Amino acid sequence: MPPFIVNKLDIDVHEIADNVFELKRYWIPRSDEFGFYTLGRNAYLDGKTSAYYDEPKTLNPILLCKFGSLYQKVIRHLSEQFNEPIAVSDKLALPSFHIFESSIFLLTHAGVWHYDYPHITLGLGDIDPYTFTVAIKLPTGGAGLDYIDNEEYKYLEYKEGEIIGHDGKTLHRISSLKSCVPREYRITFQGHLIRINGILNMFW
């Protein structure tokens, strides 16, 4: 069985990308070497800081207002996939966006190999973890995910509008860029699920 589940979402990726740029004042720089930002906080970078719990109080309502349709469609898709409701906690950061500017640096540098344990970082337990990515805007040369399957290196190519899901227990990383065209972006919508008190909760 493939470690990743890929489906097409009925979303307007161009409108979503435009809205991400409209909220550029909320982008958080994440690297001194290349253009890497997140729109909002997340567990793997901020989970052990007070900012993870403080800033979402302001930003979560803004994200819900700007990307309400995207959240609704992702929640509906995941609810149908797991055949149960998906909850959103106002105490956790909402799923949001990775933003990479096209860079020569990223032609030869990929992400760090890792497993997904944001729920452990946040002390949420370890029941039914799940990770999802929605490809919103991709550079000309494409973008995707490197992963190891049965000791074999593989590459999963993203397509705009697709949601990619997995349990986070497959070793993986963000793939390097295949080409570099100035002023292009790689934008993905990122999030996780974890079961809390019997209910699947969505967060980042």
Over 80: is that where the pLDDT of 61 sits?
A: yes
Residue 128 φ/ψ region, left for φ over 0, alpha for ψ in the -120 to 50 degree band, beta for the rest: left
Structural domains of the chain ordered from first start: 5-196 (2.60.120.620)
Question: Can you give the three-state secondary structure of the chain, one letter per residue?
Answer: CCCCEEEECCCCHHHHHHHHHHCHHHEEECCCCCCEEEECCCHHHHCCCHHHHHCHHHHHHHHHHHCHHHHHHHHHHHHHHHCCCEEECCCCCCCEEEEEECCCHHHHCCCCCECCCHHHHCCCCCCCCEEEEEEEECCCCCCEEEEEECCEEEEEECCCCEEEEECCCCCEEECCCCCCCCCCEEEEEEEEEEEECCEEEEEC
Over 90: is that where the pLDDT of 73 sits?
A: yes
Over 90: is that where the pLDDT of 1 sits?
A: no
pLDDT score of 94: 98
Encoding tokens for residue 63? 């994200």
pTM of the model: 0.97
Please report which confidence band the pLDDT of residue 2 belongs to, taking 50, 70 and 90 as the band edges: confident
For the stretch 159-184, pLDDT in tens is 999 999 999 999 999 999 999 999 99
Over 70: is that where the pLDDT of 112 sits?
A: yes
Mean pLDDT for 136-156 is 96
pLDDT score of 146: 98
